[in-house]
Amino acid sequence: MLIALTRGVSPTLADCELQELDREPIDIARAVEQHRAYEQCLEDLGARVIALPAEPRFPDGVFVEDPALVLDEIAIMTRMGAESRRGEGESLEKTLAEFRPIARIQAPATLEGGDVMRIGKKLYAGLSRRTNAEGIGQLRDLAEPFGYQVVAVPVRGCLHLKSACCCLGGETILANRAWIDSALFEGFRVLDVASEESRGANILRVGDKLIYPDAFPRTRELLEKSGFSVRGIDASELAKAEGGVTCTSILFDA
């Protein structure tokens, strides 16, 4: 069974960490509504949603992807680059321990889940302002015994690797090549986001469907013309907190 682990929108979301975006007013009630619609979308696509309650002390807590990375064999609790977020993993760990043995990234390493793109047994890890070389090294030490290969990918101009590229399934990646060295994905088919939609590379595959923000219609058109089935959602308020559709769930097989 496919599990989707989520957490409610914090009432303090407007105090979120920002790196590449200017701060804008966030409509919390609308963000909650959009997040519930996202959870419903996951359920519609066959996932069992485990929804943890919001945590007011963590403005970014809804972005559950960053504190943990779940592989088939283990769950890795990360050590986030944003110090204010380092307590977010506690409640996630309790839930994940029901499904996987737990491993941890240790100081001085930093690693955020949004910087890790898995394609089969290969883990592409973004070297970013949130994930350092020590974090990628520890990820390699934890994952290689299970047969994974870890590839470091320098990231520029965006928050995480999955802000710049995401796997659409098989051998296809959606990317903004200005933010990564796409030569590292030799052998893959790379689809480029529309030129006016630079933040449109974050996309979530669930089964044979792609969950994608309504904010990027030109890129969605490209995806559909390329044969992909896209389910659009309104994620405008969480986007103001520098969040994407991968950020707000952890997907794994029970």
What are the catalytic residues? 160, 247
Q: Is 206:46 a contact under the CB 8 Å cutoff?
A: yes
Residue 149 token pair: 């290969």
Distance from chain centroid for Cα 186: 22
| Side-chain half-sphere exposure of 79, counting CA atoms within 13 A | 16
CB-based contacts of 209, cutoff 8 Å, min separation 6: 45, 229, 230, 231
Residues 6+ apart with CB under 8 A from 14: 25, 26, 28, 59
163 Cβ contact list (under 8 Å, min separation 6): 114, 155, 179, 199, 201, 202, 244
Closest listed residue to residue 69, CA positions, set 33, 93, 53, 41: 93
> How many CB atoms are closer than 10 A to CB 62?
28
CB 11 within 8 A of CB 29: no
* Residue 171 Cα distances to 45, 72, 165, angstroms: 22, 20, 13
Which CA distances in Å does 120 have to 98, 124, 149, 150? 23, 11, 10, 11
